Amino acid sequence: MAKMINKRISRYVLTGLYLSIMSFSATAADDDKLKNMCMACHGDNGVNPYQSIPDLRGQSLIYLRNQMAAFKNGERQDITMSKVAQLLSYDDINRLTKYFSEQ
C-alpha cells in the first residue's frame, strides 16, 4: 500500500515539476523558479523531512553536478529525477548545483 501511495505521489510531483519546467525558458531571471522546483522535494535550502529524498545541503558542487549529469544521461535512474534532469539545460544544472552546494 505504501508503495502504491509513493508511486502516486511521485506521479503528481513529476507532473507538477514537468509543467513548471515547461512553463518558462530558463534564464538568470528564472533562477528562483528553478530553485523552487527543487525545493518542492528537497526542501528549503536543500534540507527536507523525507527519508527517501536526499538532502542537498552540505553536498559538494562536483558531487551534485556529477549526480545531475548521471540522471540527465541515464547512468543513474530515478522515476522523478531522471525526467527532471533531462528537461534541464546544463546551464540550469550548473546554476542549481552551485546554489545548493553553497547552502
What is the per-residue DSSP string for 18-38?
HHHHHTS---GGGHHHHHHHH
pLDDT in tens, 58-89: 899 999 999 999 999 999 999 999 999 998 99
CATH number, residue 80: 1.10.760.10
- Residue whose C-alpha is closest to residue 100's, from 6, 52, 21, 36: 36
Residues of the domain holding 91: 2-101
pLDDT in tens, 5-36: 556 656 656 555 555 555 444 555 577 888 88
pLDDT of residue 72: 96
pTM of structure: 0.69
pLDDT of residue 55: 94
pLDDT of residue 23: 47
CA distance 25 to 88: 10
How many separate domains does the chain show?
1
